[in-house]
Amino acid sequence: MGLQAAIAVTLELRDALAAERDRARQERELLRSLDTERLLERATFRRQFNAMVLRLQRELAAALEASKIEYGLAEASLESLATRAPEETAELATNLAEIRSLAAALKELDELNALLTKRALQCVQGYLAAVCRRPVAYTRHGQQAEAAAATSATFSRRF
């Protein structure tokens, strides 16, 4: 395990982020159509994705630590690794830059999807409020709403 392993992990992480970015773009359509079944599947997949990213980050940290030891460096920074393996470090730096870019794009898409989710929730709540209104003219027992309210008030004042 060393610098080549770190490069391999960054490539895997980059590909996973690119795929997740593409799925996050498609999520907007699921939100627009309120496809709850696929949205719930998507949420389950995102949890799995997050676990995979955490595993890859740990693997990357271990590979960089092994590189530091392999090259006898005090730290595993790009600058210090470049003194011992400039070509591999340049590839690693390029991969890390792509990862940062993809992570930023995914964050932006997640924020947009959260906003769309909030709007969809407001739409559903508004619909439910309109459908489940309290009766204005008659109660569910067929009484006039005002008369029923007066009867309730009179009844409660007696007791």
pLDDT tens profile 34-47: 898 999 999 999 99
The residue that leads in pLDDT, 16 or 121, is: 16
Backbone angles phi, psi at 132, to 5 degrees: -105, 35
pLDDT digits (tens, 9 = 90+) for 115-159: 999 988 888 888 888 888 765 666 777 777 665 555 554 444 444
Does 88 score more than 50 pLDDT? yes
Contact 62, 1 (CB under 8 A): yes
CB-CB contact of 53 with 16 (8 Å)? yes
Per DSSP, what are the bridge partners of residue 144?
A: 138
- Residue 78's pLDDT is what? 94
Radius of gyration of the chain (CA): 29
Angle (CA) 4-5-7 rounded to 5° is 65
The reported pLDDT for the residue numbered 136 is 65
User: Is residue 31 a contact partner of residue 117, using CB atoms and an 8 Å limit?
Assistant: yes
Whole-number mean pLDDT of the chain? Answer: 88
Question: Can you give the residue range of the structural domain that contains 119?
Answer: 3-158
Enumerate the β-bridge partners of residue 114: none
C-beta of residue 49 within 8 angstroms of C-beta of residue 20: yes
Reference 13, options 45, 76, 57, 47; nearest CA is 57
Structurally, the chain folds into a number of domains equal to 1
Structural contact between residues 63 and 72, judged by C-beta atoms closer than 8 angstroms: no
